[in-house]
Structure 1
Amino acid sequence: MRVRSALLAGVRGLWLAVFGIVGSVVLFTLAVVSISFMLLGIGVLTTPVVLGAVRAFADLRRVQAAEWAGVRIPTPYRRPLPARRGGVAGQVELCSALLKDKATWRDLQWLLVDMTLGAVLALLPAAMLLYAPWGVVVASGVWKPLVRTDGTFWFLFVPVTGQDTAYLAAATGLTLGVVGLFTGPALLRAHFLLAEPLLRPTRERELALRVDHLTESRHDVVDDSAAALRRIERDLHDGAQARLVAMGMSLGTIEALVEKDPAQAKRLLAAARADSAEALTELRDLVRGIHPPVLAERGLADAVRALALRVPLSVEVDVELPGRAAEPVESAAYFAVSEVLTNATKHSGADRVWIDAHHAEGALRIAVTDNGRGGASVAAGTGLLGIERRLGAFDGILAVSSPAGGPTMVTMEIPCVLA
């Protein structure tokens, strides 16, 4: 396992070094030339293209950092860019927006680091592994023609002048190979950690991005709240209110018939009693939809278990919460789980669902997995977009993994503290 991870780190590091030097040098040169030519007017046309390529190159490195070394580097760019307008004025506006963005200049700084120290760090895992076989080859007799040609052959810091020094070179190479087996993945990770300060958002930019995100999610929540109020108004008008009006009319008829036709009054009274029971049931269901009593009384864990009992699927629930979150957080998590279970029932074709919820590292994490056909997507209009907006109001995130053929895993995370 260690050999495999070291070889993988070596191959990836070699690719990063070669591709990093070539890509960084080319992109940095093009960016400097293009920005310089803006005074001549040519750069206005080329700079957005070149800087777009620089951003794509930096985004690729962010993806590689997460996938190859577990180093997660958030994107620092504020999106979207100004709406593209035609003509020279539109190009000037776009160039101005790109050049005013501090992330653009930090990307260019990163290109300088990537083509120098970054390339060295990336190359080390492969170099240390390659020195091991090369030292053995040198000791096998290859040193002789090399020495005859040059007088002295240097194997790193070992001057090879005879067989004894050739054996010393082989021992040095094997030592480096062993060290590479243990340090290769760490060196690859160090390469990405070197890039992280320049590729991630600054503190100022993180706050700006957070404000943008919270502003957008606040608008979504306001829209959702308005829609929920309209739904409640419609349900009251079409349901309980209509039944109460009918009951009032029935009671007026009963009052008129109670002495003239007691039998008919009795039948109408029974019907009114049935209407009152149905109206009460509808009101309870409506209240439960606003804030379920079991959630208020017993917390999220028992509320999720109650949800699972109402779903016509086999549901396994594993909830470990040492305390209770704030009421708005519990409500958001509850309705998010409810929506995911509804989606699984209606769209997935699954017959089993697993719910796992726990609190760790200052966040409530909930995973809902089903064994259905897969293919779920936030953009597919299955309610996942509404969940994402609901969680966004609490700075939460939603992740969906749903390959064709299944399974589907919906993961939700909400930062919170348990009391």
Structure 2
Amino acid sequence: MTASPPTSGRTAPGGPHAPYVPPAAEAPRPPETPDAPDAPDTPVPADASRAPLTTGTARAGGAAQTGGAGGAGGAVDAPGARDDDRLPPPRAPLGAQTWKEIAHLLLNLPMDIVGFLYVSVWVYCGLLLSVTVVGLPVLVLGLVGGRRFGRAERVRARLLLGMRIEEPTPIRHRAHGGFFPWLWACLKDPVGWRHALYSFVRLPWGFATFAVCLVSLFVAWPVLPWLARGLTHVDRMMVRALLSPSDALERRIAELESGRRTVADTASADLRRIERDLHDGAQARLVSLAMGLGLAKEKLPEDPQAAARMVDEAHGEVKLALAELRDLARGIHPAILTDRGLGPALSNVAARCPVTVTVSVDLPARPAPAIEGIAYFTVSELLQNVGKHSGAARASVDLRRSGDRLLIRVFDDGRGGARADRGTGLAGLTERLGSVDGLLLVDSPGGGPTTVTAELPWRDSADG
């Protein structure tokens, strides 16, 4: 009896009488290990899910599997996914400068209402009272108050709009020599009237900007930064046009103030020079003359010949004293300039110069006495510098009128090297000419020649 092969409890396909086919080889199974004892439950930290994964993590088919004592682990995120899940920090929808511009637009309405009411009441009261003596002071006080309001608006524009607006020059009471001149200067103040115009015309604009900005805060805030920037540009133009000082006017005021200080300093220096010349020159000679005549009087009874010699010496001292007084008077204002004009006066100066000087004066009429005196002393000082420092053999002086300017040209063929910013002679002359809207130009290269050109404003003698 033949034994049949074991079937391991399986029926071959095709029935029990089909030939036997061995099963396919199965993969060996890992040996089973006994289950580990249950560990006591431990609380899981709240941040455990955010702990970094170990390097043994494997990713297959979109799920990460980790081997462990208790079996396969669950699927976890990759390391880069943690950073992608973090939210960016919140940011403000509007910048700091935009909020400043919005605040400026919202403040336009209250500020413009106050300014409009102030100007309206001031103009009404001023015009109503102008028939009385108190009308003009009321207008002046209103203009002063308008300057104060304009200062507040410049501060607001400086803080909220980032503008740099200079303060206009104030009206000083002392600079006008009394109450009524100051009153008239305030009435003619262009800065005060421009500030009043600014406060009067802005009321409709204040209503418009307040309404547009307030509504846009709720219904159009995505475009509010561009809208606020455009509206504040209009505010910036108004501030620059009506509240900023005029550059030309401020520059002219600064020039006049500087010129006034220069004139005052020059006048004080001239007085000190005259006092010094009188003390050291003519006064000393007159004292010596008095002493000599006194000694001659005492000698006359005893020694008439000695007394006569002393009188002759006193006569010489008198001549020298007269010459020094004549020079001093010429330094103050020469008589020949008053009597005959610039041509003969400058020819007289040129005759005393150690250098050969030719003078050419081509003027249709005599200028004002003040301009004539300044031109005379300018040429006199320039020729004095030529004789002392240039080493020239010849020089020339040319005067002519060009439009509303008096042109003075002094030329020499000396060694050159003169500069207006070095030393006190040409620098002081430049300041004195600048005090009367004049100009001094020096062209003096090393080795020469030197040409100095001076310009003075022309005023006719009848206007001086």
SS at match of 2:312: helix
Any residues of structure 2 matched to 1:255-334 within 5 Å, and which? 255-334=297-376
Amino acid at match of 1:311: C
Q: In the alignment, is residue 365 of structure 1 matched against residue 430 of structure 2? A: no
Q: In the alignment, is residue 229 of structure 1 matched against residue 294 of structure 2? A: no
Determine which of 418, 432, 449 is the counterpart of 1:376.
Answer: 418
Deviation at 1:323, TM superposition (A): 1.0
Q: 1:397 to 1:247 in 2, by over 3 A?
A: same
C-alpha separation in 1, matches of 2:162 and 2:376: 42
Deviation at 1:339, TM superposition (A): 1.3
- Give the corresponding residue for 2:380: 338
Q: 1:359 to 1:249 in 2, by over 3 A?
A: same
Deviation at 1:357, TM superposition (A): 0.8
- Give the corresponding residue for 1:99: 164
Deviates more, 1:277-286 or 1:345-354: 345-354
1:178-223, Cα deviation, whole Å (9 max, x unpaired): xxxxxxxxxxxxxxxxxxxxxxxx9932232122112112212222
SS at match of 2:251: helix
Q: 1:386 to 1:98 in 2, by over 3 A?
A: farther
User: Which TM-score applies when normalising by structure 2?
Assistant: 0.46
- Give the corresponding residue for 1:210: 252
C-alpha separation in 2, matches of 1:311 and 1:256: 44
Q: 1:97 to 1:320 in 2, by over 3 A?
A: farther
Q: How many residues align?
A: 232
Any residues of structure 2 matched to 1:10-409 within 5 Å, and which? 99-101=164-166, 204-381=246-423, 383-409=425-451
Q: 1:264 to 1:316 in 2, by over 3 A?
A: closer
Contact 1:251 1:272 in 2 (8 A): yes
Q: Which runs of 5+ in 2 are unaligned?
A: 1-96, 101-157, 168-243
C-alpha separation in 1, matches of 2:295 and 2:351: 43
1:245-298, Cα deviation, whole Å (9 max, x unpaired): 122222222222222221221111111111111111111111111111221111
User: Which TM-score applies when normalising by structure 1?
Assistant: 0.51
Deviation at 1:228, TM superposition (A): 1.7
Question: How many percent of aligned residue pairs carry the same amino acid?
Answer: 46
Contact 2:413 2:449 in 1 (8 A): yes
Q: 1:343 to 1:99 in 2, by over 3 A?
A: same
Contact 1:254 1:265 in 2 (8 A): yes
Structure number with the higher helix fraction is 1
Identify the structure with bigger relative contact order (alpha carbons < 8 Å, sequence gap 6+): 1
Deviation at 1:345, TM superposition (A): 2.1
Deviation at 1:101, TM superposition (A): 4.4
C-alpha separation in 2, matches of 1:404 and 1:302: 33
C-alpha separation in 1, matches of 2:318 and 2:254: 49
Deviation at 1:403, TM superposition (A): 2.2
1:59-116, Cα deviation, whole Å (9 max, x unpaired): xxxxxxxxxxxxxxxxxxxxxxxxxxxxxxxxxx9xx9992249xxxxxxxxxxxxxx
Q: 1:101 to 1:402 in 2, by over 3 A?
A: farther
Contact 1:374 1:405 in 2 (8 A): yes
Q: Which runs of 5+ in 1 are unaligned?
A: 1-35, 40-92, 103-201
Contact 1:343 1:382 in 2 (8 A): no
